[in-house]
Amino acid sequence: MRYPFVVLFLSVLFFYPLASEENLEKDPPQEEPRRTKYFSINPGVTIESVTVDISGRGKNATMTQEGPGKISWMLDVKSADYQITKYFGINLLLHNSNFYLDRQFVSKLPSVDSPSSSTSASDSGSSGSKGSNTNVNQSNRVKDDLDTNIEGTYSMLVPIFYIGNPETMRLGFGLGPARVRMRGNADFQDPGTGIALALANRGNRAEFLNNVSAIQFASGNINPNDDPTLSYLLANLGTGNNLELLGYYFASQGLLRPDLTALSAFSTGRYSAVESMALSSLFRNQVNINANARFAFMFYVETPPFVGLRGRLSFGGPIVKENGYTYEMRTFHIALYMPIEF
């Protein structure tokens, strides 16, 4: 009775290693593709278009840039990918950029249009409905140089949820905080308003400058927490040579430019050239933002790696609320970069 069990036991010991070797030969272990272990630095080149829409206190201005976009260097940082399933995962993206906006979207005045377009517009307005007039007005929004500019930087730290995996094309979306810095000015008013103010109160300089200070308070431009020097000069325009000092201060920030309003103020004989350009700049709203944005978002489509490079098409931006105004940034960029993995 013992011998059959002994034979069976020896057979298992002899044939099991052979079977294991055959299985290893049939199914060799597959090597895992190399992936980011901790984080990656992503240097590259990007074409980026930035628009800032400023609204609040019953006013609105949309700042943009000349041309379709700006070519610049990119240096993003991304965490390692955490793959939840084969086709879903998450990571953390830090995106930084800078911008310079020197154009505004404005409504084209009827006098700028050609006679034929004006005639056709008036004919359509007389025969059509109000809705058609609205569409015509909306189509007349154009980029224009109003002697305004805004420059700054932003950084977004966005947790990204993506569809795909590191070896395929990925579609991602994320929400997170941002840090925004902006400095410059924007024109909220009709150009004729500045000229009228510059020509008003010819006989009383101090009273006129006090009225300008009051306008600055009402516009939210005087905020000691953001810029105490600017706030002091704006609050005391009628005292001493503060208007001239304000002009030099604006010049140091690149905000002093001659225009029709400055020429009108200079023609009164009560203001020097520097003071006239300072007044002209005051008829635009000053922008001085250095704040954390509570909300920033990003959509992107990312290509799979090709010869060590990746491509990304993204849309998003932060939203900042400061001094009664809301600043909505809209960024669109196309990037080509090389991940350096750690």
pLDDT in tens, 84-110: 998 899 999 999 999 999 999 887 655
Any long-range contacts for 305-311 (C-beta under 8 Å, 24+ apart)? 305/166, 305/167, 305/339, 308/338, 308/339, 309/44, 309/336, 309/337, 309/338, 310/42, 310/336, 310/337, 310/338, 310/339, 311/335, 311/336
Report the alpha-carbon distance of residue 97 to residue 331 in Å, rounded: 10
* Residue pointed to by tokens 């009225």: 211
Q: Give me 253's structure tokens.
A: 């920030």
pLDDT category of residue 257 using cuts at 50, 70 and 90: confident
Report the alpha-carbon distance of residue 245 to residue 263 in Å, rounded: 19
Report the alpha-carbon distance of residue 18 to residue 16 in Å, rounded: 5
Report H helices in 200-254. Answer: 205-219, 228-235, 242-252
Report the alpha-carbon distance of residue 274 to residue 281 in Å, rounded: 11
- Judge if 217 and 279 occupy the same domain: yes
In a domain, 305, yes or no: yes
Instruction: Give me the chain's average pLDDT, please.
Output: 78
Q: Which residues of 117-144 are buried (b: 16+ CB within 10 A; e: fewer)?
A: eeeebeeeeeeeeeeeeeeeeeebeeee
In a domain, 114, yes or no: no
Question: Are the C-beta atoms of residues 186 and 54 closer than 8 Å to each other?
Answer: yes
- Judge if 208 and 315 occupy the same domain: no
In a domain, 237, yes or no: yes
Question: Are the C-beta atoms of residues 262 and 272 closer than 8 Å to each other?
Answer: no
pLDDT for res 35: 60
Tally the domains of the chain: 2
pLDDT for res 181: 93
Among 239, 260, 283, identify where a domain stops: 283
Taking 60 as the threshold, does the pLDDT of residue 128 lie above it? no
In a domain, 21, yes or no: no
- Judge if 86 and 203 occupy the same domain: no
CATH number at residue 72: 2.40.160
- Judge if 199 and 223 occupy the same domain: yes
> Could you list the residue range(s) of the whole structural domain that residue 256 is in?
189-283
Of 255 and 289, more confident: 289
Per the confidence metrics, is the pTM higher than 0.85? no
* Burial zone of 272 (CB within 10 Å; 0-12 exposed, 13-18 middle, 19+ buried): middle
Helix (H, G, I), strand (E, B) or coil at 190: coil
